[in-house]
């Protein structure tokens, strides 16, 4: 988009509802603004996609694809995927936009610029949760196609509270009907440094293994402290050459099991990789379990539970969708929770009946003070008996009053 466009957009109202407040980000084909949903009164992220600059003959097809893919991405509801609220085209400005959840934090690209070598537990947490978000898309039948550090958002101020995948809005539904394929759009979006070999080769029929390859690139960068390939090495990869991964000091500290998972994700042949992101997560979990470096979700605020791993697909409630959502990624080495307290049936209060008062329990003191009262009582009896002239003291008995005396 042209320089100065951001200033022109500030203060505009898109589709009569979304006020553009200030620019907060820029991508190769989009601008992101902080905005306000004037209907609901909440702040949102407004992403304006540069479709209107395309040639007139392809613009209708571009917009059809944009709307179809935005609708598919909006159906993914998962704690590791940024939420998409709305999308459309402003009729007056002819600008295409996506309305998303507004996040606070930084992306992984910025984090790695500040801290190229992260502690291994932190790196694994980020990689696992990023893969969870990608797996949610795969279960919903969508591949991302542009998995890179700039599209992995670390939400939170001081601590990483959550890892969120961005830009599912340019993702591609799996198994597109060839009769409805939009073949005039041109090249598929990707970033050269994080493109899979099949993307570099210009293959249009990508599968989930392309995302797995990109997760492998990010996994190596997180664990090794640098990108796996430079431009020259990417050229060799493009030519079909199997280029070994550099052995950085950080990479040499990675266990053989973890290294094998990443190397499998980076196989040149897509059929030799993990078939999808869920399989990649399972392999990472097994490797961490084997070497004792398991990622414990309960130990970090960014972790998602097993129930959260299953995506909720909006507007789908049939049995197939529910079964797909229930087949979530297993939680990796969870901390063991104490067993629940089970109350016998006869201890439970019936519904609608006020709870009875708890039975009072008296504690028996463990000091000599408890004997003072009986001794004083015996002393009084002895004095009374002596005054009666030395008669035998009567037996002292504790008698409970009968009901008539109450």
The single-letter DSSP state of residue 185 is S
Looking at residue 134, its pLDDT comes to: 97
Q: Tell me what pLDDT residue 108 has.
A: 97
47 annotated to bind ligand: yes
Query: What is the structure's pLDDT at 289?
Result: 87
Which regions in the chain score pLDDT beneath 70?
A: 1-3, 28, 51-58, 169-190, 291-375, 380-406
The pair of three-digit structure tokens given for residue 146, joined into one six-digit string? 């542009």
SS3 365: coil
| 7-102: CATH architecture | 2-Layer Sandwich (3.30)
Q: Is 146 a catalytic residue?
A: yes
Cβ neighbourhood burial of 59 (10 Å; 0-12, 13-18, 19+): middle
Helix axes 277-291, 120-139, angle to 10 degrees: 150
Architecture (CATH level 2) of domain 104-175+189-332: Orthogonal Bundle (1.10)
Give the C-alpha separation, 222 to 296, whole Å: 18
How many residues are recorded in the chain? 406
> What pLDDT is recorded for position 265?
98
Q: Which one-letter DSSP state was computed for residue 330?
A: P
Catalytic residue among 146, 167, 276, 309: 146
DSSP 404: G
Cβ 258 vs Cβ 287: under 8 Å? yes
Where in the chain are the domains? Answer: 7-102, 104-175+189-332
The residue with tokens 């990624």 is 329
User: pLDDT tens, 83-95?
Assistant: 999 999 999 988 8
Model pLDDT, residue 306: 40
Contact 126, 119 (CB under 8 A): no
Q: What is the pLDDT of residue 103?
A: 92
Dist. CA 169–CA 74, nearest whole Å: 8
Give the pLDDT of residue 52.
Answer: 58
**pLDDT given for residue 176 in this prediction:** 47
HSE-up of residue 214 (Cα within 13 Å, Cβ side) = 31
């Amino acid at each position: 988009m042209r320089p100065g466009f951001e200033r022109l957009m500030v203060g505009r109202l898109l589709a009569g509802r979304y006020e553009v407040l200030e620019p907060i980000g820029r991508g190769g084909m989009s601008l992101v603004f902080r905005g306000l949903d004037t209907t609901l009164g909440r702040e949102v992220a407004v992403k304006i996609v540069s479709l209107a600059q395309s040639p007139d003959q392809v613009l209708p097809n571009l917009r059809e694809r944009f709307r179809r893919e935005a609708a598919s991405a909006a159906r993914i509801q998962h704690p590791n995927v940024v939420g998409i609220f709305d999308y459309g085209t402003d009729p007056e400005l002819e600008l295409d936009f996506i309305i998303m959840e507004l996040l606070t934090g930084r992306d992984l690209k910025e984090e790695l610029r500040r801290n190229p070598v992260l502690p291994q537990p932190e790196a694994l947490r980020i990689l696992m949760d990023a893969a969870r978000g990608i797996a949610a898309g795969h279960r919903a039948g969508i591949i991302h196609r542009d998995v890179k550090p700039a599209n992995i958002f670390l939400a939170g101020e001081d601590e990483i509270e959550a890892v969120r995948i961005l830009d599912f809005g340019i993702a591609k539904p799996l198994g597109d009907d060839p009769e409805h394929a939009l073949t005039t759009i041109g090249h598929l979006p990707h970033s050269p440094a994080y493109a899979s070999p099949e993307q570099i080769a210009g293959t249009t029929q990508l599968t989930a293994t392309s995302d797995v390859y990109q997760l492998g690139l990010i996994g190596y960068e997180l664990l090794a402290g640098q990108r796996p390939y430079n431009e020259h090495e990417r050229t060799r990869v493009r030519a079909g050459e199997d280029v070994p991964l550099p052995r950085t000091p950080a990479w040499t500290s990675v266990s053989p099991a973890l290294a094998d998972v990443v190397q499998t994700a980076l196989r040149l042949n897509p059929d030799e990789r993990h078939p999808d992101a869920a399989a990649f997560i399972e392999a990472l979990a097994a490797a961490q379990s084997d070497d004792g470096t398991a990622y414990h979700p309960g130990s970090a605020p960014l972790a998602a539970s097993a129930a959260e791993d299953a995506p909720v697909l909006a507007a789908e409630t049939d049995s197939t969708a529910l079964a797909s959502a229930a087949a979530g990624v297993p939680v990796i080495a969870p901390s063991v929770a104490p067993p629940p307290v089970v109350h016998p049936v006869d201890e439970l209060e019936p519904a609608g009946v006020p709870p009875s008062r708890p039975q009072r329990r008296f504690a028996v003191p463990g000091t000599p003070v408890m004997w003072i009262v009986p001794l004083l009582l015996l002393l009084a009896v002895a004095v009374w008996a002596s005054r009666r002239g030395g008669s035998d003291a009567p037996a002292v008995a504790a008698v409970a009053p009968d009901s008539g005396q109450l």
